[in-house]
Amino acid sequence: MPSLPQFAVQTKRYGDVLCLTPVGELDIATVPLLASELEVAESGGAAIIVIDLGELTSIDSTGVRLLVWMDCACAGEQRLRLIEGPPAIDRVLKLARVRAHLPIIAREDSPVSLRFARARGTRANPAPPTDSEEQER
C-alpha cells in the first residue's frame, strides 16, 4: 500500500502578522488541517493573516473552496493575504476563476518580506527615491 504524501502547516508569527505555510498537497484529505489552523489564526488576534502558497505542490477544488471561504471570512477587515504560489497552483486558481478575486500578492510585496526588509534597513521591493528622499541626500 503506497504511503500518503506528507502535509504540514508551518506557522510563524511576526509581530501582528501570522504566516501560515501549507506544505504539500492541499486536497480533500488535508483541507481540514489547514482549516483548523486558519480558525485558530482568525480568533488569535493577528491583524494580518498571510497564507504562503509557495510550498504547495497541488491544490484541488476543496483547497480552492477553503481559500475562497477564508477570504470571505476576512473580507470585512481585509486581514487575509495570499502569497503567490508555483505556476501549477496559479493555473488551478485561474481555471477555477477565483484568482482575480483573491487577495494574492507577489512574494516580495508580502507583509512578512516587508517587515524583514524594514528590520534590515533595506527595501523588499526597491523603488525610485521620492522627491523628499532626494532632497534629504
| pLDDT attached to residue 117 | 44
Q: Considering the domain 8-123, what is its CATH architecture?
A: 2-Layer Sandwich (3.30)
In Å, how far from its chain's centre is CA 5? Answer: 22
The pTM of this model reads 0.77
pLDDT per residue over 70-125, tens digit each? 999 887 778 899 999 999 999 999 999 999 999 999 887 766 665 544 444 444 44
63 neighbors 26 (Cβ within 8 angstroms): yes
Helices 61-74 and 87-95 pack at an angle, to 10 degrees, of: 80
Give the span between the Cα atoms of 23 and 56, in whole angstroms.
Answer: 5
